[in-house]
Amino acid sequence: MEREKLIIFDTTLRDGEQAPGFSMTVEEKVKMAQQLERLNVDVIEAGFAAASEGDFEAVRKVAENIKTSIVCSLARALNSDIEKAGEALAPAERRRIHTFIATSPIHMQYKLKMKPEEVLERAVQAVKYALNFTDDVEFSAEDAFRSEREFLYRVFEAVINAGAKTINVPDTVGYATPEEFGKLIADIKNNVPNIDKAVISVHCHNDLGLAVANSLSAVKNGARQVHCTINGIGERAGNAALEEVVMAIKVRHDYFKEVYTEINTKEIYKTSRLLCRITGSFVQPNKAIVGDNAFAHEAGIHQHGILAHRETYEIMRAEDVGVPASKIILGKHSGRHAFKTRLTELGYNLPEEKIDILFAKFKKLADKKKEVFDEDIEALIFEEIASEIPSKIKLNYFHVLSGDNVIPTATVKIQKDEEEIISTSCGDGPIDSAINALEKALNIKGKLIDYSIRSLSSGKDAMGEVRVMVRFEDTDMITSGKGTSTDIIEASIKAYLDAYNRYIARKTLMEKRVIEGI
């Protein structure tokens, strides 16, 4: 059987952006659209041109900057909406107008206040008018799943005759189940006489957590376009997640024998992360495909299986979606095999009896911590093997001057062995100037890889915890540090010093390892 292409219609910039907290500026929409083009999305719905001047400008800017993907604008079945869409899409090399009107009894009665025949007439008129601006017109029957079947068939037949090349079947309120939705698509194929002249598309919402399942059921029953969004964002509970639909088709190609997509899956993770940065949102750790835990393993049985043969517990490679590699997370559920493998990866070839001692200490530590990091392991090794622990550098005093009309300046006093060092430096803000003063005192340069802050308690005098990840000097070694205080600047200084002390400990241990062949 020759596979057919499944068209991926991305509506992150339109339906996705309608979710509370996901608004984007024009520039951010363009940046996101360019990444969607690198992902090789077939259709990018850039917005709802008639909704506002901002949306109009966003659609126009995306149309000006996208060269290979089709750029689409949503429009109600109104001439004014369609004109706005056509005008905004004018610069696009490939353009589509997506016009819609509701067809369910509840929508027609309470929202549109129109009779079915009026809705049918409006739908046909909208498609014909849109053809004045492009020959690529998509028609959506809003709330199609809750529409009366015979009326839905009549509407689709009429709009196809009017010139619509794609008919879209939305489960607008996420009410369908996979079996029901798949049957609806099959029924449309069997009851709309001219359906062979149009592509059947679906647009599923996730109110019951079934958007992806419903979309895939539709594909099995003849749909050849799927509306979806990055990370599944969208109205209410969101839309079908693009990454899940695409990877289901790719991984289960034995089941979805009929179709393929042209998505560049190696760009999936990067696209997901870009959306998070632009919107300030996060995906939950256990989110399929792009969550932090999607390719992470902590249970000892799973870790042993993965290390022996990846496919024992992974159905896809992390690299296939752009994640650098699977992660073996060391924690209280990890086994000796995973621990020994991590030791080897860190460059430690230790005798079995030494590994047994370290593993026992590791398990005790893992009971106290959610995750054990490389520097924790090396600290255990250092404690077991090194003859002396390097002196820790401590903070004795700090003072920061900052404000609207002054250059942020910080003075720190640190204790290094018996020596007390005082240093002063400026920076872009109080924390930056404090870190610069520290580096000056330590005579070292570090690159801050990550900085995070969280409150450990409530109230205006709450304790704050700062975590940092720093790469010191020109090494590949990244060390983390943690500091707590009711003063966030003090917590930041403590975290940076903690990272530096860990760096010195690891560096000393590595030098000892080279000398003594540990």
DSSP tag of 76? E
Closest CA to 329 of 270, 361, 273, 369: 369
Q: Compute the distance between CA of residue 397 and CA of residue 279 in angstroms, rounded to an integer.
A: 39
Closest CA to 204 of 164, 149, 245: 245
Distances (CA, A) of 313 to 256, 317, 326, 329: 22, 11, 11, 14
Burial class for 461, CB neighbours closer than 10 Å (0-12, 13-18, 19+) = exposed
- The H-or-E segment that residue 218 falls in is helix 211-220
The reply, when asked if residue 333 is annotated as ligand binding, is: no
Kindly write down the DSSP assignment for every residue of 329-385, as one continuous string. Answer: --STT--HHHHHHHHHHTT----HHHHHHHHHHHHHHHHH-S---HHHHHHHHHHHH
Q: Compute the distance between CA of residue 99 and CA of residue 92 in angstroms, rounded to an integer.
A: 18
The reply, when asked if residue 40 is annotated as ligand binding, is: no
Contact 47, 58 (CB under 8 A): yes
Q: Compute the distance between CA of residue 184 and CA of residue 137 in angstroms, rounded to an integer.
A: 22
Q: Cα Rg for the chain, rounded, in angstroms?
A: 29
Distances (CA, A) of 72 to 5, 22, 114, 427, 492: 19, 19, 27, 46, 47
The reply, when asked if residue 15 is annotated as ligand binding, is: yes
Q: Which residue has tokens 């590791």?
A: 362
Q: Where are the beta strands (DSSP E) in 33-165?
A: 43-47, 70-76, 95-102, 137-142
Contact 464, 484 (CB under 8 A): yes
Contact 457, 463 (CB under 8 A): yes
Closest CA to 181 of 144, 224, 233: 144
Q: Compute the distance between CA of residue 190 and CA of residue 442 in angstroms, rounded to an integer.
A: 76
Q: Which residues contact 338 (CB under 8 A, 6 or more apart)?
A: 300, 303, 304, 307, 328, 330
The reply, when asked if residue 205 is annotated as ligand binding, is: yes
Annotated binding residues, written as ranges, equal 15, 203, 205, 239
Annotated binding residues for Mn(2+), written as ranges, equal 15, 203, 205, 239
